Structure 1
Amino acid sequence: MPNQISLAFKDQCCKSTVQLHTSAENDVHEVVRQHYAKVVTSDKTVSGDRCGANGSCFAANVDANYAKKLGYTKEQLADIPNGANLGLGCGNPSQMANIKAGHTVLDMGSGAGFDSFIVARVVGPTGQVIGIDMIQEMVDKAQANALKSGHQNVEFRLGQIEDMPVDTETIDVIISNCVINLVPNKAKAFTEAYRVLRPNGRLAISDLVTTTDIPDNVRRDLALWAGCLAGASLISDLEKHLKSAGFVDIKIAPKDESRQFIKDWAPGLGLEDYVISANITARKP
């Protein structure tokens, strides 16, 4: 039996101590599910930085330019449904996805629908966007956003990205924004991504990676798992998972400038020395 890890951390927002235990993938899923369900149901609706250790308290970065810092353009941010941007990303996957009108696009870990709605304008009425998220509250929020904004080419489904409710070889492009790091079984997630892509389909991900091994005490910290930091993988491990799944043309491009906002996510912990945002692309032959 695996050793059970016990973690108590102080929730500065709610002034309570939360006791967590993990020994399996399901426990990581549950911690992440609870954390982000609380994010989407929080009455703090200001867009901003909700990842990192500060995200445990929903200490949103009130800087309205946060999305622009991640690479989103003014045009992309126009007419996004109110409440779709929860500030949960670490990059702009659509910027590197080469999405065309008529494409069917899958957003893995779609949250409240921010990236899905940006892509929906690109694929147009002849295309489709499918968002997958394992958190019911996120799916409900995204569906409500789609309804009130009139988007008819977007749908949101409940499911884990390690076992997606999507038919085989039906997707042209997969995007994902700062979600793979939250998944305990990354190899399975990439195998699923490969399954649902059509031949010559593409994967475009913004996520966190590590340039060196993260200390064990960080890996065991569930608050930092939920905060997008402790679950980040070594670049070499991600390359291995992608190759094993069958992907080719794999490119992982770290963004050194991201170390500044990562420093803000976990002040004083020095995790910016280990963790960095990266653009990840690959193709199914």
Structure 2
Amino acid sequence: MTAQQMSDEQVREAVRERYAASAASVLSAQPQTGCCGDGGCCGGSGDAVDPISSDLYDASDAPSETALAASLGCGNPTALAELHPGEDVLDLGSGGGLDVLLSARRVAPSGTAYGLDMTDEMLELARRNQAEAGIENATFVKGTIEDVPLPDGAVDVVISNCVINLSPDKDAVLREAFRVLRPQGRFAVSDIVLLRDIPEQLRGVVGLWTGCISGALRDDEYVAKLAAAGFQDADVEVTRHYTRDDLEAMAEATDVAELPEGMALPELVDALDAAFASAFIRARKP
């Protein structure tokens, strides 16, 4: 079944299953490969270090070793969001909690960092990592990023790390981010963006939906959708381009059975060459 044929809930469930498996791997103390682990955001598996999720954080700054190991992102929004003591922050799709815990440190002592995730296993892992780090001003809640269980105007900053691209309803995500922000609140997320269109048939590869690429917006589409949600001063700053060697490493970890009929891995690399990048997306609520 292709992504076009799947309902929003079926796409969401495919993402949930993959992230639950990744969290369960950490919770059961099974070793993971690279930062992504098996089946993380980047879709990587096997022994290769994933080029999207590697080398994003200073290990000495990590609040806990397992939080760093469970990170599935494509950037480090906490390093770019300019958080200040006393601010309240929401991380959309908080996973193992690394960005929430880093944010909590920056907004302490009077600010709070909220982590929102739809996966029970990830929430369990995040709370374990919070206890390990001894951080008290973090709160993890269950829910989807399309329907945030926080009141209007609850936070000063919304962050996210390579999660919005996974949503089948990005307009709803951005509307919710706008709703929960206070006036002059900041949207500051890391995400995968497309730099050009990719073949439509690749958007039907479920493995790529749960691996950050096929669900990504073009950079100009991202800006337009933020404006439609009410944001101002939207901007996309590319933070990491990917080489052909990077793409070949990702292709080696791709399940050939998930490719469109007749497509070989070299063709996948050709189709995605110079097509996407990691980026930091900023916007402001008036």
TM-score interval for Structure 1 and Structure 2 normalised by the shorter chain:
0.7 to 0.9
Query: After TM superposition, where is structure 1 displaced by more than 6 Å over at least 4 residues in a row?
Result: none
Alignment partner, residue 164 of structure 1: 148
Match of 1:113 in 2: 97
Residue from 38, 61, 69 that aligns with 2:49? 61
- d(CA) in 2 for partners of 1:251 and 1:89? 20
Aligned to 1:281: 282
| Cα distance in structure 1, aligned partners of 2:67 and 2:22 | 11
Question: In structure 2, the residue corresponding to 1:111 is in which secondary structure?
Answer: coil
Gaps of 5+ in 1: 1-5, 8-19
Secondary structure (helix, strand or coil) at the match of 2:121 reads helix
Distance in structure 2 (CA, Å) of the matches to 1:100 and 1:52: 28
% identical equivalent positions = 37
Q: Give a deviation string over 1:103-131, Cα, whole Å, max 9, x none.
A: 10101110000111111111112110000
The one of 234, 256, 260 aligned to 1:250 = 234
SS at match of 1:174: strand
The two structures have a TM-score, normalised by structure 1, of: 0.84
Aligned-residue CA RMSD (Å): 2.3
Distance of 1:199 and 1:221 partners within structure 2: 39
Change (3 A) 1:74 1:38: closer
Corresponding position of 1:266: 251
Cα distance per residue 1:30-68 (max 9 Å; x no partner) = 10001111111122345523446652x4656299xx65x
Equivalents in 2 of 1:123, 1:53: separation in Å?
29
Residue 125 (structure 1) aligns with: 109
Aligned residue in 1 for 2:72: 88
- SS class of match (1:228): coil
Q: Which residue of 1 aligns with 2:255?
A: none
Structure-2 separation of matches of 1:280 and 1:62: 22
| Cα shift at 1:264 | 3.0
Matched position secondary structure for 1:212: coil
Match of 1:234 in 2: 218
Contact 2:87 2:112 in 1 (8 A): yes
Match of 2:256 in 1: none
Name the CA distance, whole Å, in 1 between partners of 2:103 and 2:230: 26
Structure 1 residues 244 and 75 mapped into 2: Cα distance closer, same or farther (>3 Å)?
same
**Matched positions, count:** 262
Q: Secondary structure at the match of 2:283?
A: strand
User: TM-score, normalised to structure 2's length?
Assistant: 0.84
Match of 1:136 in 2: 120
Higher RCO (CA 8 Å, separation ≥ 6 residues): 2
The residue aligned with 1:34 is 17
What is the DSSP-based 3-state SS (H/G/I as helix, E as strand, rest coil) of the residue aligned with 2:235?
Answer: strand
* Cα distance between partner residues in 2 of 1:141 and 1:151: 14
In 1, Cα distance between equivalents of 2:224 and 2:126: 33
2:130 maps to a residue whose letter is A
**Paired residues of 1:47 and 1:87 also in contact (CA < 8 A):** no
Q: 1:263 to 1:98 in 2, by over 3 A?
A: farther
